[in-house]
Every structure is written in C-alpha cells, then in structure tokens.
Structure 1
C-alpha cells in the first residue's frame, strides 16, 4: 500500500522543489516571500488533511465491518462539507493577508509579493481541498495507486506551467511569483474534475447526488469527531512553525530564505514517512473495525523500526550532499552557507519526527483524535517553540536548528510509550471480552 504513495509523493515533492527553484531565480526577496507563505498555506492544507484523516478512518472502519452503503454516504458528505469549508477559508484568508504576514515578521518590501501569491493561492484552495479528501476515500478502500497517480500528474502539470507563467513565453506575460500560484491552481483544478468522475461514476464510491440535511448531518458527524481534532493537531504545526519563522526573521531575509528552502527539502526527505502516514491509517482502521488488534500492534511497531533506520540513512546522504544541494537553490554565499548549516543539523531528527507523525496517524486511525491533538500540542508548545526560543537566545540561528532535533527526540519518547500503553490496554480489554 505504501509503495505507490512513495512514488506519488516523490513526484509531487520533487515538483514542489522545482517550484521553489524557479521562484529562487527571481531573487532572494521572492524566495523569502514564498518562505513566509509556508506556515499559512500549510495551516489551510492541514485542515484538509484533518478532514481526509476523518474521512479515511470512518470509511475504512465501515468497509472493515462490511457496510458499504454507509461508506458511500460518508464519502459524499465529506466532499460536500469540504466544499463549504474551502470557500469560507478562502474568503477569510484573502481579507487577512496583511495582518497575518506582518505578524509573522514580513516587512514592507515582501508584503506586496506575498499578496500577489496568496490571493491566487486562496482562490485555488477549493481545487486543492476536494481532491485531497477524495484521495482519502480511495485510500480507505485500499487503493493507494490512484491517489499517487493524481498527485504525480498534478505536480507534473504544475512544473510544466511554472516557468511559462513565472517568466513568460510568447504572448503569455511574465507574472512573477503570482505565476507560480496560477500554475498550482490549474494543476489542482484538473485533479478535482478527475477525482469527482472517478468516485461518482467509474468506481461508485460515493452517491452521485447531493445529500439532504439529515443525510449530510448523519454522514459528517463521525468525520468531524475525528477530522476536527486531527485538523487541529495538524494546524498546530504551521502555527508553531510560524512562531519560529518569526524568530528566524530576526536574523534577516537571508535566514528566512534558507529556512524556507530547508522546509521544502524536509518535505522531500520525509517522503517515506509521509507516505506511510497515509497508507498505515486505512490498514489500522480496517483491522480495528474487524477487531484484529494484534495486527494493529505489529504494523505500528514494524513501521516505527523501519522509519528510524530509513531516516538516519537519509540524514547521512543529505549531510554529504549539503553543499551541492545549497548551490542548486541560490548563488548567494550567505544564503547557501545557512542552507548547509540547516542540512547538517535538522535532518538528524527526521526519524524521531517520523515516529511522532506515525503515532499521530495511528491514534486517528483508532478513532482517538484527541490523543493525537494532545501529542502534537506537547511536541510543539511544550518542546519545539520553547526550545527554539531558548536556542535562539543562547546560540543564535544554529541553536534554533539544534532545538528542532531536541524537540523531536523528547516528543518521540512520549509518543512511543503512550501508543504502546494504549495498544496493550486495548488488547487486554479485547481478550477479557472474548
């Protein structure tokens, strides 16, 4: 189940890096502007991820219990709910661009660039949200290949359009940073129409109609019970990242640009973890619905061992290639040196971060979203933000980078012990019932 997701994520993240590369060619100002947008855009994406988690967990449990009718109704309700929430977020987002980004530390030179990008990005939010939830429906049914194809094709469209719209071609004017957002909008729109056709007509995994109020209320109740805490847990990450970005911003736009590049590289370095976090929950939910808790425990343990070993290997590779990676994104020596410093320190904690991510996914899959929310809150606001602040005060920018590793280490210990205890309790309870 995970292998197709890895392929799709590799394609998507690679295209995301290419996106950053083209924007970097415009200059450090544009690169810094796009770096400021990451916490905000990921906050919106996190809501969609939360809805997808809730959708996948509920539908997978219905399918594990053999109730396909409720599964189809839930899929329809999930997409209708996503449509409404995406529109609301877009309207709120457009009217709050200036105050939010000033709060994050963006200066007067960057605000116009950020506005150019974010107005279009918010408009594209609808075309992002519905395919993400639609892909969750497919994953809940055990199909991870199709979502990976959709991600890969969307990324390909985006990377083809990026240079055309950013720099111009023939009659198409150079749109700069806004061109990157328009390319993203077009790519997501294509994905939306294909997913709707697939779910409603070809696979018949949803009802090809609008639900009435009672049906909508019934079908979305379970999704919201899991999805809202899951979204909250995910949204805490960009909020905390935004706070740390503001701390990084005190070291200048050069530091913010390097921090943004490092964040994009973190996404591609964590592809296997992110893929597992999407394929593991349907497996856990279906076995949870079928009351096969021993398989849940085995899957969780195996994934954790693999991720720790895999991400350490990734760290070694990144550390070796750090100067060459930095040279790809910038010609400015100061920015390149800061990127190298990031890559020699922060990736050391990616394996431990992966453990936390998979534990959160497992909690949500077992219909324990509040545990995931509490765990993420501990990670970010008991460890990540305070330790980064102290690291900044005591050791400067380098202290911030080391703080991320320390925060991941502390949270990983809490996450593993917590999840293992819960699985043992549930397993003993099941044995007593039997």
Structure 2
C-alpha cells in the first residue's frame, strides 16, 4: 500500500464525528458538584451523600444521618477492568485505567484496580455477566444484545460517544463503493468483537446481508490485518478509527467507505457492570468512574504524557519495542481514540458531566442492534441504564488535573 500523510484519516474522522445527533455529543449543561476540599476523616459534614477531598488527596464521603454525619474514608476494594480487545493498546485502557493508576487517582479512592484483555465487546459483556470481571468498556449494542439474552449486566455510563467503526479497502484495488464489496471477503477483528455486529449493520445499511460476503476473523492487531488486506487475503477491514491511526502514522493509506446513515448517533463503548455486584455496592463503581474520568481529562489535556504513563503501566503494549520508538505513534493513536471518547465542544475544564447516554442515543443503538441481526425490543433505558453514580463520579475539580497535565512533559 502506498505511503501518504494522514489527511484521509482526518477527513473521515471529521465526517464521522460531525454526523451526530444534535446535542448528543456535547458536555451536559448541568454542572457537576465540585467536591469539598480540605476535609478530614471524622469531621462533621452536612451534605450526606456528597464527596470531599482530604488534605492528603484521598476522597472521603459524607455518611450518616442528618446532624450526625461525618466525613468517612472508603473501605479498600478491588476492581477488575476489562478492555474490549485481545491486546492492550493506546486507547481506553491507557486513558481510563493506566493513567489514573499511575497518577494515584484510583489510590485516592482506596481502589486496587487491575486490567485484563478480552475477545472484544461481546466477550467482555459475557465475562462481566459471569462475574469474572467487574466492569468493562463494551459497545452499547453488544451490551443491549447481552441484556436481551439475559446476561446479568447493567449499563452505568457512556465512554466512547462518537461512533468509531469504519470499513476500509486498499486504495490500489478497484473497490470504491459499498456495493463493490458484494461477493468479497471482509476482515473483522473476531466474532466476539464489536467489529462483527458493526459489519452486519453496515451491510444492512447498504442493502446487503452477511451471506452476500465472506467474513474472516483477522484478529485485533491492525498491522497483520493490513498485511492481509495488501496481499488480497481480504478485500476490506472493519476496524475502529484509532486502530487505523496506528498504521496511518507510518504512512499506510486506506480507502474509507462511508458508513450508512443508520449508524449516525449510535453509541460505542459504554460502562458495563456486573448487576449483582453493582446492586450490592454501587459506590465502588462510582469511585472507579471518578478515577477513570480524571484519567480521561488528563489524557486529553496532555496526550503525550498519558501515552508515556500508559506504556509505563502496561509495558506489554510496547510489543517488545522501546518507549522512545513507540511514543509518537502511540500518542497519535491515543489522540485518535480520545477524539471518539470526549465531547466535541468545550475544553476538559468545562466537561462537567461525563458518561451520560441520552435517550435518543439509546434508541439509535437499539436500532443498530436490530440492523446487526439481533432482535432487541423494549430494552428499557430506565431499567438497564443506572446513572445514579454519575453525579458523584463527576464530583471533582477539573482545574488541578488540567494544571498537572500542563506541567507534565
């Protein structure tokens, strides 16, 4: 494949991020409560249910009854986070896991957080439902499919709010339109990945069925998948934008086929939790999200520093290479992922309410799941989207985080 700049990626990303439901991708106008500062454990407090920050940086909660409430430290808790991919890379596992772990955001919540890989969104949903992991970032469509199948999960927030999936071909081949793919072979990440329902929905939106093409699992690494595309083993790839960015940084060129209009406004990665554990102690997940949101803000403000922290926490993501050799490409890839995960307006300081999933986006995502060949009816947002932890998860001051990111190299 030919060498080029990344202009085509930028154009497609701009188009994809621009084609969204009005109001669904901006920071909510309702401001989050900024946590009280300088509080001490055992000190009297008045606003039961709120959070505060001690002088040592730890988060405390105002607990008790009116007139008798005190600032209270959290009990130690362990949380296992699942990344929706078979290998760690500069994307969500950097921004919402590695960065908050390296910077002590989880420690401030008295959380011991670990991370594991999964086979993709569908696999992550199943693992969460089985209780083998506690929380994962999984495609909302895959989560809705899981709920329809009776998987024991709840959704407590949104993560990737700008649809990230794209179908690409080799620009040197004569496949220029969606119709040209009929009878061809499409490389998907795997049948347990969100790549699979995306491909089925993409085909349906272009008047085709799964039987009109051949689907081949090429794995979650974009480099060998691109080699398969170059060799002609597959005629198209169904990956997410930040994966393409990893190879476009080194000059690889792809031809992006347009997504059908039906995919406009569809949500991707959302916070999926084991329903039993969440119901037993929702506060643990509030604490996790608060640390994760801090990591997201820091990563957006200083993506190069976040990439360094990510590789430091997860050296396996270097794939045997040095930090120096991977830093620039990793930063580029993480920036591409962040473009799908953060509001399209405002600045990190002004992002007061991260994680909401508006009803319109929920409805569009159900339509997406149906287009992917799964019957999803009457999946109640009121029942399965539990947003009660989002207010306190957003209760922290953004300014010190942004300032720390600005000071970092």
TM-score by length of 2: 0.27
Query: Between Structure 1 and Structure 2, which shows a larger proportion of helix residues?
Result: 1
Query: Between Structure 1 and Structure 2, which shows a larger proportion of strand residues?
Result: 2
TM-score by length of 1: 0.26
